[in-house]
Structures are given as structure tokens and as C-alpha cells.
Amino acid sequence: MDAALLARAGNAQLRQAMPPSVSVLPVDVSLQLAELREAVAQRHNTVNAVLLSFSLISGLCLLLSAAVGWVLYRRVCPECGRCGMALGFTTFILEDMCVVGERARTMYRCAQEASAEELRRATALQQARETLKERLQSFLEVADSEPQRLRIRDCLERTDVEDMRNVLRDVESYFRHAGPEQRILMLLESLKEFCGDQEFDGYRIEAFEILRALGFREARTFVVRMHHELRSCAKLLEQEQTETSLRRTGTEGGYGH
């Protein structure tokens, strides 16, 4: 459109809009449309460039934040796992990490206390089992009847603490109600399988002499010591016989060849 024609049309419209009493001077309302379009386009391009820059920066910041968050999650998750807590990504994003960390520490502390308590119970149980085993072993060596020895052996093989307590209580009650002489005789019975009658009578006489002179404890100590010595001698003799038998077998085999 011609600029001059547009200016004349503008002046005509202005005269029609004004009252007749008002004089209207001719006004130049010509517009440079090409320059105006160029200025508006330049301004729009500038705004679009700024918006695009902000969009790119926001996207990069979002990606960087997500990457940093994922790296932190990968570092924090094993720490929570060592405390016994499974940390989900949703929990990591939505919850306060200070609260989550305190909860993980509490769970770890509770787990450690439970583990320590379990260890204390296991240690106490093992100590009680060893103590009961030693006491039953001492009674096994001096038990005067085969059923009683079988019961003690069976109890020692099972190693059940409650059963060991019951058997020990019964055995102690049995020995407690017996007099010193009878208890020494019960102890002496354990020597018979390791010595002859004449040697056994010598041990019995000596044990009762110690009982009358020094009391039951010393007499019992003497019998138990004799039991250990005789048993050790019997084992040594058995080993020597076994070695002799093996040597004899080897010699006979060499002659055979």
C-alpha cells in the first residue's frame, strides 16, 4: 500500500471525527512499515533468544540436579544398607535425609544391641555347658552303677543344657545322701577295671586310712588321682600292645615275601 495514500486517508478520517468548529491541521501520519516490521521482528527475536537460553539453562540445571541426586543416592544407599535399612529412591527424593539418617542409625544401633545380646546369651550358654560337662565328667569317673554311668554318658553326648542340669541334680542328690564311707566305696569301684583284687584292696585300705585321718575330701582326691593314673597306664599299655601287634604283623608279612 502506498504511504501517501494511507496518509491522506488518515487525515480524512481525522477531519470526519472532529467537530466542525475545530480546525484540523494536516498531520503527517505516514508510517515506515518496513522499518517497523524490522524493529518488531528484532525485538521478538531477542525475546525468543532469551527465552530459549533460559529454557536450555533450566534443562541443563534439571539434568545436572538429577545426575547429582542419582550419584548421592548411589552413595547413601550402601550406607543405609550397612545399617540394615533399605533406602528406596522415592524415599530419598521425598523425605528429609537427616530424618532418614537418624532412622538408619537407630536401626543399626538396635541391630548391634540385639547381636551383642545374642552373643552374650550364646557365651553364657557355652560356659554353662562346659561347667556342667566338667562336673558330669567327674561324676562319671566315680559312678558306682552301670545304669548311672550310661545315663551320664548319654547326657554328655547330647549336650543339652537343661538335660545336663537335671542329670547333675539327680547325681548330686544321690551322692549327697550317701555317707562318707559309702561314697568312698562308690569311688573305689571305678578302680576295679584297671587293677586286680589284691591291688584294689591296697587302694581301699589306703583310702579309708586317709578318710579317717584327713577327711572325705582328701580321700576322694586320692581315689580320683589313682583312677587317672591307672587309666593312663592302661591306655599306654594298650598303645604298646597295638604297636607290638603292628610290628609283628609287618615282620610276618616281610617273611612271607
Q: What is the mean pLDDT of residues 13-17?
A: 56
Per-residue pLDDT at 155 = 86
> Residue 152: which residues within 8 A CB-CB, separation 6 or more?
136, 139, 140, 143, 167, 171
pLDDT in tens, 44-66: 888 888 888 888 998 888 888 87
pLDDT bin (cut points 50, 70, 90) of residue 19 is: low
pTM of the model: 0.41
Question: What average pLDDT does this structure show over 110-139?
Answer: 85
- Tell me the per-residue pLDDT of 73-107, one tens digit each, with 9 for 90 and over: 777 777 777 777 777 777 777 677 777 778 778 88
pLDDT digits (tens, 9 = 90+) for 150-185: 888 888 888 888 888 888 888 878 777 767 777 777
Alpha-carbon distance values, 72 to 68, 84, 102, 107, 149 (Å): 6, 18, 17, 21, 67
Indicate the average pLDDT of the chain.
Answer: 77
Lowest mean pLDDT among 6-10, 128-132, 198-202: 6-10
pLDDT at 8: 59
Q: How far is CA 225 from CA 173, 179, 191, 217, 220, in A?
A: 24, 21, 10, 12, 9
Decide if pLDDT at 17 tops 60.
no
User: What backbone phi and psi angles, to 5 degrees, belong to 86?
Assistant: -90, 115
